[in-house]
């Protein structure tokens, strides 16, 4: 439709690289964040989203809901819905 831009999203694994001999290796600590920044720049992105290292998906923001707990299972569709509505 007129006036609407098509948004493209990439989901890319980070942390994996190659050394100077082209042998696969992994990056050091925060390597995934570094990878995200590189890909963001390469794709001329307006921004990148970094999912922090956590124990899992929480039932609520534990800073606001002290009784929140880690969910034992989350489907792909549930994760997509959470992301769509801005879950952090």
Query: Between the CA of residue 64 and those of 6, 68, 84, what are the distances in Å?
Result: 35, 9, 20
Residue-level pLDDT at 60: 85
The per-residue pLDDT for 72 is 92
Mean pLDDT on 72-83: 86
Q: What is the pLDDT of residues 17-67, one digit of tens each?
A: 888 999 988 887 778 788 888 888 998 988 888 776 667 888 888 889 999
| Residue 1: pLDDT band with limits 50, 70, 90 | low
Give the Cβ contact number of residue 67 at 10 Å.
7
Asked whether the whole model's pTM tops 0.75, one would answer no
Distance from C-alpha of 48 to C-alpha of 43, rounded to nearest angstrom: 10
Is the Cα dihedral 23, 51, 48, 31 positive or negative?
A: negative
């Amino acid at each position: 439709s007129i006036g609407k831009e098509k948004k493209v999203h990439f989901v890319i694994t980070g942390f994996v690289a190659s050394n100077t001999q082209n042998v696969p290796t992994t990056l050091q600590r925060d390597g995934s964040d570094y990878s995200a920044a590189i890909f963001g720049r390469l794709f001329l992105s307006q921004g990148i989203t970094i999912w922090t290292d956590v124990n899992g998906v929480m039932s609520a923001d534990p800073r606001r809901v002290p009784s929140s707990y880690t969910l034992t299972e989350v489907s792909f569709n549930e994760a997509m819905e959470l992301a769509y509505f801005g879950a952090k």
